[in-house]
Structure 1
Amino acid sequence: MELRSSLVILALYLTLSWPCLLTFAFAPEPRITVSHRTLQGEIGYFRKAENLSTLLLDRTRDLLYVGGRDAIFALSVHNVEHEVMPKISWQASQKAMDDCQKKGKRSDDCANFVKFLQYFNDTHIYTCGTYAFKPSCMFINANTFKEEKNGNEEINSGKSKCPFDPQLSYAALIADGDFYAGTTDNFLGTSSIISRSFGSRRFLKSEYFVTWLNEPNFVSAAFIEESYESPIGDDDKIYFFFTEVAKEFTYFNKVVVSRIARVCKEDAGGKRILQNRWTTFLKAQLVCADQDGSLFSVLRGTFVLQPNGPKAWKETVFYGVFSKQWSQDGHSAVCHYDIEEINRIFDGNYKQQTDEKQKCNEQGGQLPSPRPGQCITNEQRNKKYNSSTDLPDQTLSFVRDCPLMEQDVRQPTRIPLLIKSHVNYTTIAVARVHVSNEIVDVLFLGTDVGTLHKAVVLKDKDTWIVEELELFSPPMPIQSLLLVEEKVRHSLGLQSGK
């Protein structure tokens, strides 16, 4: 995929007759295919910009903010062809563009590609862009849709918050005033980190060890409020989803695996060991496999489902779309994972990584105390460990050397919710609805050829594709999918390109 190609934002309004979903005689193939021509009256396109890569929904104002190349737009949720307010032009300076090209980068890449848009608070949006390989960030006043100065400057450094290269993978979010990112922090794009910056808490980042991150491809990040009504005084967590080259295997070819990693919100780094580094960074393999054990090892997209809101965090379900590393024909799968099972894995044993001189297994049945990688809870506070800076060197050395968990995170069902041949799913969104006193999860799955599959997950976890929509002609991949829930119909905002 080349980012320089034109992108299209569209809104598709779907009338969902939920009772009918349970009366059809389902088949593995889509029951209905709706052609691009048939959909013309129901699709709205926004074509006034290139490289539209970032979406932010404002349900209160009924706005869809769209970040693209050198600009940010405010569109109506009900009609994406309508710009509610004049666009914000955010071009890289001439000096930044000249410097970028002098360093050997293509002129097409030496622009400002907006990669991040999220509300910082009720009145301000925070945004970051590549800014001609000099990543930068700024505030936007949500009421006026104007840039707002931060001190004496409108923009500030985006290093460790945003990639230099617009073509590199990226995942970020703002949680409780802090900026968390999985990105690269150098011009060449060779140094990958998971970092926290910007807010009141200390700047932290991952170690530059291949046992922490090894050629990662970041997919997404999620903030889960696990401190809410926690009987143990637990901390909130930030989860990162990515793929990387596995270090625990010794095969001739590079083996790519999917990972879930987590850090604790109140992590303050270590005092001597792991200074300005995460003391709670742990990761586990995310497994999506068929009944024969064949792995769908490459994570393509995720969705966090919290049906009763973030406070009911124990009900959190992570959905993911996966593909196979070496498949030529296109094989995709959808798997899901429960938050409590993920926590159980992170409370388990640690994995020995084969080519490192590490001792990650319990010695004589004993682990360092407090347990390595754990958030500070009431148990630690009662022992006078009130911060990660109070933790003993032995605990910190262990988690520095052994961040990988022994057990894998697996789907609770025997097989994936859905397996589809000759299809490459790229993104997913999920809506949970109540139908005839039953709970049904409806999956919206984007593909690399611009089709959208609508699938229904029934109570027994049987999954059926009920509709296929051909959204683009000529075909182009759907890269992000935004679901806007309304009383009667659903509006999907999609960003696609090729």
Structure 2
Amino acid sequence: MLFLLILFCWGPAILTFGQVWPLYGTPRKTVTLSSYGGHVFQEEGVWNYSTMLLREDMGVLILGARGTIFALDLNKIIHKKAMVKWEVIPSTQENCLMRGKNLETECQNYIRILHKMPDGRMYVCGTNAFNPTCDYMSYTDGNLSLENNQHEGRGKCPFDPFQGYASELVDGKLYSATYINFLGSESAVMRSLNGNIRTDDISSWLRDPSFVGMKHVAEGEENPEGDDDKIYIFFNEAAMEYDPYNKLDVSRVARVCKGDLGGLLALARKWTTFLKARLDCPVPQTRLPFLIQDVFLFCPGNWNTCVFYGVFTPQMSMLQYSAVCTYKIQDIREVFSKGKFKTVVNVDSFTKWVKSEEDIPDPRPGACINNDARQKEFLTSLNLPVKTLQFVRDRPLMDQAVEPSSQQPLLVKKGAAFTSIVVASTTALDGSIHQVMFIGTASGSVLKAVNYNGETVIIEEVQLFAHSEPVKILRLSTTVGQLYAGSEVAAVQMPLSACGHYTSCMDCVLARDPYCGWDLISNSCVAINSLHPNTHSQVIQSLRDGNPSRCPAVESPKTIKFFYPGNVVSLLCEPGSNLAQVQWHVNGHPVEQNNVYEIQHNRLLLLNATESNAGHYICTSVETSKGEDYIIQTATYELKLQDLVEDSLGQPLVQEQQKIFIALIVIVILLTLVLLALVVWTLYKGYCAIPSCSNSIEERPQCSNMMQKWGSIERVQQMN
């Protein structure tokens, strides 16, 4: 009853069942990775390709897997430039096994941390059979090498390879969010490498969290308030502000300030700026809040233009919807810098978190040191008064939730769960700039989607891996215009666009792909960024409307097909896209399914065809865009009754060929039977019994006698 009451009182996260929501759930095209011009990399015996670091300065993709790190050519990842093994030593593996972990899966070294250091080296950490360990790594002269400067990775890298974690390396310091003990019962958000600082170990700070992502935003740059850079942490955790007797998970965004040094007495070596808020992604007609799975930071300009893109899935497996929500950096800042706090009260023998009406101390709890604080002689967090520190220690949760831009998701789709997201920016033919989302799914595909004036269209779905292999990670290189993805079994690379697979003007324009346009001169779909400005007038692109009316008319080829009376005739018609509807006409009249015509998938079947079924058949693939219907391709058939006279002229030749074929089959069968009879007769007469022939010549007299007989026959033949 309490749980139902909580659901009823949830607020903006729960919407009524009567609310209408358009589901843009169907990709216009479904294509394979090979047709998209992609590449697959995998090494025999290596698994879990789930950690990536783009080194565009070196032209390589650093790929972390289980027990192995690769350096792959950024332009073509099938070219392996270097690799280094980092496996678990036997004693560590044995200790892991003795503590109850699985040898084949858990007691291995999964690479989990890969970051570029300020000096160009890389910082790398692995789970190391539940004994997290870190090292430094270099890539020089085509060689990838660990420095063997191994040190403890507790708090930096997870113990459990299958547990959520997040990390960022900023100014040579590692910020990490993970579980910090073997049992996976204690979690922390930490800063290490040159001075440690972490979250407090009370449950109001972190309560059974599942960490998803961490992003650095340089808010201190050109900031009139003299504010500090922020580290934002995204995770899911058990909600403490609702029913304590039923576990309800919610999504959170938390943040700390880069210059935080901890308190002097209170919160010594603990964050003084750790604040968190609920992160809402309200999907209509659902009762429980969706949970964030991945986040991408997109900043088209300076820091105050930044937007977080998050992918969300339901916390109940019976629901099959996923969503993308976006959050402006300014909206998040507003909640943390001006919002109310929650505080705990006791109600009927249990605690409840409610909006705090207490006076907020000055300086504001959880705030970074800015110009206002410095004027009051609070130069670092070590100078903050105990009252401010005690307030934020007891009240780390904000009362107000962070709502998505436009108060609703950017995309809602039914089907395989979303797992990851990256966002690229591209300029269209008319100079407008569009953000293209690449969304990984649990079915091993990536969706390419764009939002035009509030309408999100899924341009295509590219199948990267087998349907049972979820996309674990996505990375984007704008330098080479490539997307990289990792799964348990392989890593793949694909271009951001493949305009060449659009085969007609209508197909190219209706795709509404900002990367592509139809060139009237070359009569092909081309990449917009490859065009010379003087040729733009000869290129067609219509992104917001998908209007291909400027496309020239194309005549479809006619196929002549003959049939015999009483036959079943099959006419094929492939739809031009997943959004297209196939329509059949015969002699200018629509075909209706009945006892003569049957439409199955992409085929029209004529059952028991008669002379009256001969005629002109046209199949059109019709796609609707902005309320207008467009014929994107046509198949034309001329169905004719087979001329019996012509057929009879060719009949003797066909019959003769059939007779020859049958005669050959009979000869082969007779020869086989003769050979079989000969073998049986030989065995029956005992000339070569099977058991005797397995021994030496001296021990097989029957075979020797038979050989002597054959020898005698040979000598007689030679004498003759």
Cα 1:278/1:27, change in 2 over 3 Å: closer
Q: Please say if 1:52 is aligned against 2:49.
A: yes
| Aligned equivalent of 1:33, options 30, 33, 37 | 30
Instruction: Report SS of the residue matched to 2:188.
Output: strand
CA shift, 1:253, in A, is 2.6
Q: 8 Å contact 1:114–1:129 — kept in the other structure? A: yes
Instruction: Report SS of the residue matched to 1:497.
Output: coil
CA shift, 1:142, in A, is 3.0
Q: How does the TM-score come out when normalised to structure 1?
A: 0.88
Q: Give the alignment of 1:316-465 within 5 angstroms.
A: 316-347=306-337, 348-353=339-344, 355-356=350-351, 361-363=356-358, 366-435=359-428, 436-458=430-452, 460-465=453-458
Q: Please say if 1:229 is aligned against 2:229.
A: no
1:367-403 deviations in Å (ceiling 9; x for gaps):
1111100011111111111111111111111100100
Q: How does the TM-score come out when normalised to structure 2?
A: 0.61
Instruction: Report SS of the residue matched to 1:413.
Output: helix
Q: AA paired with 2:77?
A: V
The whole-number CA distance in structure 2 between the counterparts of 1:281 and 1:53 is: 29
The whole-number CA distance in structure 1 between the counterparts of 2:33 and 2:405 is: 36
Query: What is the CA RMSD across the aligned residues, in angstroms?
Result: 2.0
Q: 8 Å contact 2:447–2:461 — kept in the other structure? A: yes
Q: 8 Å contact 1:296–1:333 — kept in the other structure? A: no
Q: AA paired with 1:324?
A: P
Q: Please say if 1:491 is aligned against 2:482.
A: yes
Q: Please say if 1:129 is aligned against 2:104.
A: no
**How many matched pairs?**
458
The whole-number CA distance in structure 2 between the counterparts of 1:174 and 1:454 is: 29
Corresponding residue number in structure 1 for 2:508: none
Corresponding residue number in structure 1 for 2:199: 206
Q: 8 Å contact 1:296–1:332 — kept in the other structure? A: no
Corresponding residue number in structure 2 for 1:164: 159
Cα 1:295/1:414, change in 2 over 3 Å: farther
Q: Please say if 1:79 is aligned against 2:76.
A: yes
Cα 1:392/1:359, change in 2 over 3 Å: farther
Q: Give the alignment of 1:94-113 within 5 angstroms.
A: 94-108=90-104, 109-113=106-110
Q: Gaps spanning 5+ residues in structure 2: where?
A: 1-22, 490-720
Corresponding residue number in structure 1 for 2:694: none
The whole-number CA distance in structure 1 between the counterparts of 2:353 and 2:483 is: 48
Instruction: Report SS of the residue matched to 2:40.
Output: strand
The whole-number CA distance in structure 1 between the counterparts of 2:442 and 2:321 is: 12
1:95-141 deviations in Å (ceiling 9; x for gaps):
21121112121112112111011101242000000111111111112
| Aligned equivalent of 1:176, options 168, 171, 179 | 171
CA shift, 1:356, in A, is 4.4
1:194-239 deviations in Å (ceiling 9; x for gaps):
001113xx31111111111111100010011111011111111101
Q: 8 Å contact 2:443–2:466 — kept in the other structure? A: no
The whole-number CA distance in structure 2 between the counterparts of 1:44 and 1:36 is: 9
The whole-number CA distance in structure 2 between the counterparts of 1:452 and 1:296 is: 24
Corresponding residue number in structure 2 for 1:219: 212
The whole-number CA distance in structure 1 between the counterparts of 2:33 and 2:341 is: 50
| Aligned equivalent of 2:59, options 46, 57, 62 | 62
CA shift, 1:46, in A, is 2.3
The whole-number CA distance in structure 2 between the counterparts of 1:496 and 1:293 is: 30
The whole-number CA distance in structure 2 between the counterparts of 1:265 and 1:317 is: 20
Cα 1:384/1:401, change in 2 over 3 Å: same
Q: AA paired with 2:439?
A: L
Instruction: Report SS of the residue matched to 2:372.
Output: helix
Corresponding residue number in structure 2 for 1:257: 250
Instruction: Report SS of the residue matched to 2:175.
Output: strand
Q: Please say if 1:92 is aligned against 2:59.
A: no
Cα 1:369/1:481, change in 2 over 3 Å: same
Q: 8 Å contact 2:168–2:214 — kept in the other structure? A: yes
Cα 1:376/1:293, change in 2 over 3 Å: farther
Q: 8 Å contact 2:93–2:129 — kept in the other structure? A: yes
Q: AA paired with 1:80?
A: I
The whole-number CA distance in structure 2 between the counterparts of 1:372 and 1:385 is: 13
Q: 8 Å contact 2:124–2:137 — kept in the other structure? A: yes
CA shift, 1:291, in A, is 4.9
Q: AA paired with 1:195?
A: M
Corresponding residue number in structure 2 for 1:155: 150
Corresponding residue number in structure 2 for 1:282: 275
Instruction: Report SS of the residue matched to 1:118.
Output: strand
CA shift, 1:336, in A, is 0.2
1:285-325 deviations in Å (ceiling 9; x for gaps):
100013567554210111110123xxx10011000000111
Q: AA paired with 1:184?
A: Y
CA shift, 1:352, in A, is 2.6
Q: 8 Å contact 2:24–2:413 — kept in the other structure? A: no
Cα 1:46/1:181, change in 2 over 3 Å: same
The whole-number CA distance in structure 2 between the counterparts of 1:233 and 1:398 is: 23
Moved more, 422-431 or 467-476: 467-476
CA shift, 1:259, in A, is 0.4
Cα 1:37/1:139, change in 2 over 3 Å: closer
CA shift, 1:80, in A, is 1.4
Q: Gaps spanning 5+ residues in structure 1: where?
A: 1-25
CA shift, 1:421, in A, is 1.3
| Aligned equivalent of 1:299, options 292, 298, 304 | 292
Cα 1:163/1:105, change in 2 over 3 Å: same
Cα 1:350/1:293, change in 2 over 3 Å: farther
Moved more, 47-56 or 73-82: 47-56
The whole-number CA distance in structure 2 between the counterparts of 1:134 and 1:251 is: 34
CA shift, 1:55, in A, is 0.5
1:214-273 deviations in Å (ceiling 9; x for gaps):
111000100111110111111111010000000000164311100000001111111111
Q: 8 Å contact 1:36–1:473 — kept in the other structure? A: no
Cα 1:396/1:74, change in 2 over 3 Å: same
